[in-house]
Amino acid sequence: RRTPLFVRLRGESDIEGGLVRRLPWLLVFRGVVATGLLFLTLAADLAQWPMGHLASVLYGVVIGTYAVVVLLGLLLKGGLSATIVAVAHLVTAVFAAVVVVHATGGVMSAFSFLYLLVILDGAIIGGRSAALAVASVASIAYGLQLTLQLYGVIATAIRLPTTSVDYINAAVTHLAAFYLTALLAGQLARQLESARRAVNSARTDLSRAELFHSAVMDSLSVGVLSVTRNGIVVSTNKAGAALLGASADDLVGAPLPDLLASFFRSGDERFETFVDVNGKRRCFGGGRSEVASVGDEGGQPMTALVVEDRTEVKALEDRLRTRERLASVGQLAASIAHELRNPLAAISGSVELLSGSTDQERAKLQGIVLREIQRLEKLVQDFLVYARPAPPQRQPLDLTRVLEELAQMVRADLQWADISLDLDLAAGIELDADPGQLHQVLLNLLRNAQEATPAGGVVHLSATAQLVGSRREVRLQVRDHGAGMPPEARAHLFEPFFTTKSQGTGLGLAVVHRVIEGHGGRVEMEDAPGGGTMATVILPA
Ligand code: ADP
Ligand code: MG
């Protein structure tokens, strides 16, 4: 032990509990000092020093000290107040010092350091105030000893020639040493005490934080495991152990179980897998995240794995998807039935009226029947395009020419009598597409624009080609200045049979969407700046 002082100073606290822990060590140390004294005396005895009755005094002190140490130790063990034992220890130690110093020459004694040891003990036991108290007692004892010796009241065992200056020197240096030692040791004890308190409170905070952390982890229903780079489990929460069918003790320190090991090695971000648990197929899923670095693991980066049982969620998802599919099929069927009913009603009404009608009425009724049958045909045709779109028969098209022809045809239509169609086409745009389907798309969009445009208005059709990244894109745009799409039409965008028009089928935009998707493109419907609607078709060239 390089610095027994420090070791012994590492006390717990000033209260009894701390004393009970420190006192035995102080007593043991006192025994050691007594043993040192014993050896010195024995050595002097063997060397046949002229010690007179000094030898018997010293042997007496050693034996007395042993006795006191044993007695105090037993009392302490027997439950006597540690404070009383401590005071008895200090008092007897001062007394022993007085005797030894006196026996070894008083003012000239080489053993006056024994007082210092007692002062240190005082600091260890009760901090600075106790150290100062012991220093004062030692000063009084030592001073008294000197005074009595100076005036020849008591005689020391060893007589050495002394002068009165020696006495003054001894008194000054010793008293100064006593108080300095008390102050320093007291200060040291106080610092150690506050350091110990800080460590203790940090330790309490830490263990509280650890408890809180593990309580939070264990309250989670998902399993959370931390794993070293080599796939050794460092920690797991309750759910993690339960999901992996092992105890936390078995998991920690062992390599990851197979279920997670392959995912861990794969480097994937997340996983989903089916496993047999007690003969039942269950779906496990999870993910990973890198944990920067943790001091305890020597700064080694770790991975946090999350694992959960997704069987129920999965089943729920499947049920939901089936229900959604059935619901949309049902809705579609209802819409078709609804669309078919009106023309059928008109036809059957007309047919009923046929018998007993005049030729003139008959021609009119036949006209109605024909018109309604055409409407049905158109409906079925549109619906088939939507429901079973033919795969596009792509061929290279000179888009500018195709659009110009289309515009000519549209302008000839009666419905476009009061509305002008304005073309803005970049020259020489090439596009691989199905000409029939492209025609259908543009007709549907132009028709909506025309229906939204009041008489005398303008509809714009433009086509541009541009590079996006490394791909060339063709943008076809139909823009009108009508009232814009009503919010409910926007909410049901591209939904078949949704219409706000009395004569509409609600299939126009649905067909546009289907066809363009089949070409690998997309459709955007926006409010045009300044009113109206802007329909944009974007196709990969
Ligand atoms: P339909 O034209 O038979 O109603 P669509 O699928 O072509 O069916 O259009 C669906 C709905 O979207 C229309 O009923 C209308 O409310 C809205 N819509 C489409 N295009 C326009 C447009 N250019 N301006 C305003 N509303 C539009
Ligand atoms: Mg339409």
| Alpha carbons 421 and 328: distance in angstroms, whole number | 37
Q: Ligand 1, from 383, 499, 502: best to mutate by most atoms within 8 Å of Cβ? A: 499
Instruction: Identify which ligand lies nearest to the alpha carbon of 505.
Output: 1
Beta strands in 356-425 (DSSP E): 395-398, 420-425
| Alpha carbons 403 and 76: distance in angstroms, whole number | 110
- Written as tens digits, the pLDDT of the chain (541 aa) is 233 333 333 333 444 667 788 888 999 999 999 999 899 888 888 887 777 777 888 889 999 999 999 999 999 888 888 888 999 999 999 999 998 888 887 777 888 899 999 999 999 888 888 999 999 999 999 998 888 888 877 766 566 667 778 888 888 999 999 999 999 999 998 888 888 889 989 998 999 999 999 899 999 999 999 998 888 999 999 999 999 888 989 999 999 988 888 899 888 899 998 888 888 888 999 999 988 766 555 567 889 999 999 999 999 999 999 998 888 888 888 888 888 888 899 999 999 988 888 889 999 999 999 999 998 998 898 888 888 888 999 999 999 999 999 999 999 998 999 999 999 999 889 999 999 999 999 999 999 999 999 999 999 999 999 988 888 999 999 999 999 999 999 999 999 889 999 888 899 999 999 999 999 999 999 999 999 999 999 999 8
Q: In what order do the strands lie in the sheet with 280-291?
A: 233-236, 223-227, 302-309, 280-291, 270-277
Torsion over CA: 7, 20, 64, 88 (sign):
positive
CA 53 to chain centre: 79
Residue ranges with CB less than 5 Å from ion ligand 2: 448, 508
CB 419 within 8 A of CB 493: no
* Number of other CB atoms surrounding residue 112 within 10 Å: 23
* Number of other CB atoms surrounding residue 375 within 10 Å: 18
Torsion over CA: 467, 528, 405, 427 (sign):
negative
Q: What is the pLDDT of residue 126?
A: 86
Q: Please tell me if the CB atom of residue 392 comes closer than 6 angstroms to any atom of ligand 1.
A: no
Three-state DSSP class for residue 473: strand
Q: How many angstroms is it from 298 CA to the middle of ligand 1?
A: 66
Q: How many angstroms is it from 390 CA to the middle of ligand 2?
A: 20
Q: What is the DSSP letter of 470?
A: T
Q: What is the pLDDT of residue 283?
A: 92
Of 497, 405, 508, nearest to 451 by C-alpha is: 508
Q: What is the pLDDT of residue 160?
A: 64
What's the chain's Rg over C-alpha atoms?
52
H-type alpha helices, 104-156? 113-150
- φ and ψ at residue 328, rounded to 5 degrees: -70, -35
Residue of the CA atom closest to atom 13 of ligand 1: 499
Measure Cα distances from 16 to 81, 92, 508 in Å.
8, 20, 93
Answer whether 0.85 is exceeded by the pTM: no
Q: Please tell me if the CB atom of residue 504 comes closer than 6 angstroms to any atom of ligand 1.
A: yes
Of 29, 23, 28, nearest to 11 by C-alpha is: 23
CA 23 to chain centre: 48
Torsion over CA: 296, 301, 304, 305 (sign):
negative
| Alpha carbons 177 and 115: distance in angstroms, whole number | 10
Q: How many angstroms is it from 369 CA to the middle of ligand 2?
A: 23
Residue of the CA atom closest to atom 12 of ligand 1: 489
Percent composition of the chain: helix, strand, coil (DSSP 3-state, to 5): 60, 15, 25
CB 471 within 8 A of CB 307: no
Q: Please tell me if the CB atom of residue 286 comes closer than 6 angstroms to any atom of ligand 1.
A: no
| Alpha carbons 127 and 184: distance in angstroms, whole number | 10
DSSP string of 278-323? TTEEEEEEEEEEEE---GGGTT--EEEEEEEE-HHHHHHHHHHHHH
Q: What is the pLDDT of residue 298?
A: 58
- φ and ψ at residue 69, rounded to 5 degrees: -60, -50
Torsion over CA: 429, 431, 435, 438 (sign):
negative
| Alpha carbons 536 and 462: distance in angstroms, whole number | 9
* Number of other CB atoms surrounding residue 188 within 10 Å: 19
132: amino acid identity, one letter: L
H-type alpha helices, 151-247? 164-219, 238-243
CB 113 within 8 A of CB 174: no
Of 488, 492, 499, 494, nearest to 515 by C-alpha is: 494
Q: What is the pLDDT of residue 159?
A: 63
CB 427 within 8 A of CB 363: no
Measure Cα distances from 413 to 416, 419, 443, 531 in Å.
6, 10, 11, 25
Measure Cα distances from 94 to 37, 112, 114, 491 in Å.
15, 11, 8, 98
Name beta bridge partners: 421: 459
Q: How many angstroms is it from 391 CA to the middle of ligand 2?
A: 22
Torsion over CA: 48, 52, 54, 60 (sign):
positive
DSSP string of 221-268? SSEEEEE-TTSBEEEE-HHHHHHTTS-HHHHTTSBPPHHHHHHHHHT-
- Atom index in ligand 1 nearest the CA of residue 480 equals 23
| Alpha carbons 310 and 274: distance in angstroms, whole number | 10
Q: Please tell me if the CB atom of residue 485 comes closer than 6 angstroms to any atom of ligand 1.
A: yes
| Alpha carbons 382 and 510: distance in angstroms, whole number | 9
